[in-house]
Every structure is written in C-alpha cells, then in structure tokens.
Amino acid sequence: METIIEVKNISKKYNINHQKGGYVALRDVLTNIFKNPFNFLKSKTKEIIGLDRKEEFWALKDLNFEIKKGEMVGIIGRNGAGKSTLLKILSQITPPTTGEIKIKGRVGSLLEVGTGFHPELSGRENIFLNGAILGMKKKEIEEKFDDIVEFAGIEKFIDTPVKYYSSGMYVRLAFSVAAHMEPDILIVDEVLAVGDAEFQKKCLGKMEDITKNKERTILFVSHNMGAVKQLCNKTILVQDGKIIDFGETEKIIEKYLSISKENSSEKWENKGDEFNNDYFKPEKFYISKDTDENMWINIEATIKKIDDSLTIGYALYSEDNILLYWSYQTDTKKADWPKLKIGVNLIKSKLPTDILNSGIFYIKMIGGLHKTMWIFSPNKPSPTITLNLEKNFTQSAYWTQKRIGILAPAINWEN
C-alpha cells in the first residue's frame, strides 16, 4: 500500500524565557531604555551573540514513522507527551526544528475548538472560507453545503456569527466541514470530547465511513481508549516527546495502561502555582475513607472570587478512559450546596462504590462557570488521581470474583 505520510527524524524545540515580574508594559520598557541605555545595549548584545541563553524545551525528539494510505492511526499518551505538537507539525501549522516530513495529498485538521474559523463571520461564510483554505472550488463547496449543515445540526444558526456559538456548536460545525471536504488526510485532536455523546457517536461513524469506503487516512488523538480501539488498527504511543511504541492498537493500549498504573496516585497536591485561574486555585485533590470504609473525593481549593455560577467537581473514567459520570457541588437543590467562601475551602463527595466494579478508575477535577465557560475542561489537563478499587461483589456464594463490565451494582430481586 502507498505511503501517504513519512516522518524522518522530526524534533521540535521551544525556547523558554524566564521573565521576572510577569507582564511588562511598553512604557516601562521605553523608560528603562532611556534611564539605562548602556544596560539595554549590553543585554541585547548578549542575546544576539548567544551569551544570554534561554532554557530549551524539546517537545518532540527524533520521531520516525510511516503511515499508509487508508489507515486509521491512533495517537495516545498522557497530557504533555507531545501529541498535539506532532499534529500541529503534520497540519503544517508550526514547522519542525529539525527533520523532514513527506505528505501526499490534501490535509484537513480539527485541532482546537474554533481553529480555522473567523469569529465575526457566520457559519455559512466560515464553511466557504474553510473550503477555500483546503483548495476547493466554490462549486464543490456548494455541492456539499447542505450535507455539512445537516450533519452539524445547526440549520437555525447557519447565518449567525460563530462567536455566538457554544463550544459544542463550534465542534459540530468544524468536524462536519473537515469530514465533508474529503481531504486525503484528516487529523482529529481531542476536541470531540467537547461534543455530546450522540454527536461523538455520529463522528466516530463518519470517520469509519471515510476510511473504509473512501480510503482516506485519519490520525486520531484521544484519551478515550474505547474509541481508539473501535476505530484504529494501529496506534502510536508518545511519551516525553518520543515514540516509545507503534503497532497493533490492542497491544499499544495495554502498554499505555500499564505505564499509567505505575505512575498513578490517590492524591494530588499543588506544588506551586499549578492550574491557577481568576476564580480558584486547587490545593489538594485526594481520596479518603471514613470509619465505615466509605470512600470520599476531597477537593481543597483557595477561592479568590465568589460567583453564583461557579461549579467544582470531578469526572470519573474507566481504565479505558470511558467517561462514567460527572459530579458537581451544585448537583442537588441549592439549599444543600456546600457554602463557598473567600479563602481555603474543603468540599467532599461520597464515591458510589456500591455500583462500581473492581478495577482501575481515573478521577479528574473539572469546573467552570455554569453555561458560560470552562475553568477545567474534561479534554484539557487538570488535577487527576487514580482509584484502584478491590471489593467483593455481594455476599452471594455464586459471585465471589470480579464480574464482567465497568459497573457491578448488587440489585435486589423479588417475586
């Protein structure tokens, strides 16, 4: 089969500037130049000749692989491993520092919510803009226009500027445009996690159709191991900017989960200013047990600003990174909500272990302003802990071992 993507010795370096004092205004820079012109010239001279060195960070290091036409390839790895940087290089959004890439055909990419969209233009105008960027003629776009809008399900809002779209509407339209424009290579990042479950299922079906019936190539980054297993025959495992394995999806996922177990912990603690934002700073995130052996999720955070719409909670995922449920401190009637105050707060929630099966579960902190903005989005890095649950199913002599499935509720039967 024909090779459609060939990557040779790709590396990507970023220079990290450790600027003291945070943001510096232009007026302050100009004032310092006039006050100390010799110091300014001295520092600039050092920078030019290379004496004033910056810290180097290699996001990717010496990557080599080939992808054949019509293959569906997953890319997995923990947050910060280098997956998104690799996709940006393959999408020709950012160049590699060293190495060579050979790509045959047209590339369409769906990397971040709103990427490639102009906020002031309507959905209709953005469809034509994206098509033109992909090299399509106006007639081709017009022929696919109705299918794009119908798939995205935004008929009522097609002439509304996309800056008024929700993140879910953005993703639906962006995916629909990318899929229906029929590029030779479609690159999809974790953005599908923003959409609802029904639309995610619809997208996975569309991607299967693209690869099987039209021999298009797809690169798919996801933390949902179930989706990767369903779609991808091959998978790349990325860790610390390097490819540590590339092969059959089942084996690669097993290796990834094994590595994740080794690095897992039931407690997360902020080591400085991690995940800081305008509303609250997470301090600790951990699992505890009471005297009755009940398990509790504990979130300790410093609240900086009180807002009635502030929601803080967690998302529970299976070992395969399949979302089981979300829970917020605002799930019950308002009178029962924990009272938040400026300063350090500790809120906790009892884990429903009676319905869970034995196994590994990942618990991720989520939060935001209700229906306004995410602070910790499910598809972005956030404090994460691991639960290794071992329990007896019931007191029944028939069921002493772990049952099949993610959930294992003991349900009473009557006659």
Tell me, what's the pLDDT at 237? 94
> Under a CB-based contact definition with an 8 Å cutoff, are residues 228 and 236 in contact?
no
Q: Which residues pair with 109 in a beta bridge?
A: 187
Q: 267-389 in CATH: which number?
A: 2.70.50.60
Task: Kindly give, in sequence order, each residue whose CB lies less than 8 Å from that of residue 153, ignoring residues fewer than 6 positions away.
Answer: 172, 199
Identify the weakest region by mean pLDDT among 188-197, 210-219, 259-268.
188-197
Q: Which pair of structure tokens corresponds to residue 88?
A: 């940006």
On average, the pLDDT of the chain sits at 83
For residues 172 and 333, what is the distance between their CA atoms, to the nearest angstrom? 32
DSSP letter for each residue of 11-70: EEEEEEP--TTS---HHHHHHHHHH-HHHHHHHHHHHHHT-S--EEEEEEEEEEEEEETT
Tell me, what DSSP letter sits at residue 291?
T
Percent of the chain surpassing pLDDT 90: 32
For residues 85 and 77, what is the distance between their CA atoms, to the nearest angstrom? 12
pLDDT tens track for 72-108: 999 998 877 888 889 889 988 889 999 999 999 888 7
pLDDT tens track for 6-45: 999 999 988 766 554 445 556 666 666 666 776 666 665 6
Tell me, what's the pLDDT at 21? 46
- Name residue, tokens 């807002």: 307
Is a pLDDT exceeding 60 seen at residue 213?
yes
Break the chain into its structural domains and give their ranges.
Answer: 19-53, 57-261, 267-389
Closest CA to 124 of 163, 161, 84, 75: 161
Prediction pTM value: 0.64
For residues 95 and 89, what is the distance between their CA atoms, to the nearest angstrom? 6
Tell me, what's the pLDDT at 246? 95
Say which residue, 327 or 411, is predicted with more confidence. Answer: 327
Closest CA to 111 of 78, 136, 89: 89
Tell me, what DSSP letter sits at residue 318?
-
Q: Which residues pair with 348 in a beta bridge?
A: 298
Cα separations (Å) of 14 from 44, 54, 58, 94, 101?
A: 20, 10, 6, 11, 19
Tell me, what's the pLDDT at 300? 96
User: Any long-range contacts for 294-299 (C-beta under 8 Å, 24+ apart)?
Assistant: 294/350, 294/351, 294/353, 295/350, 295/351, 295/353, 295/387, 296/348, 296/349, 296/350, 296/351, 297/327, 297/348, 297/349, 297/350, 297/351, 297/363, 298/346, 298/347, 298/348, 299/346, 299/347, 299/348, 299/365
Say which residue, 251 or 171, is predicted with more confidence. Answer: 251
Q: Is 347 left (phi over 0), alpha (psi -120 to 50) or beta?
A: beta
Average pLDDT over residues 299-322: 90
pLDDT band at 192 (very low <50, low <70, confident <90, very high): low
Q: 57-261 in CATH: which number?
A: 3.40.50.300
pLDDT band at 408 (very low <50, low <70, confident <90, very high): confident
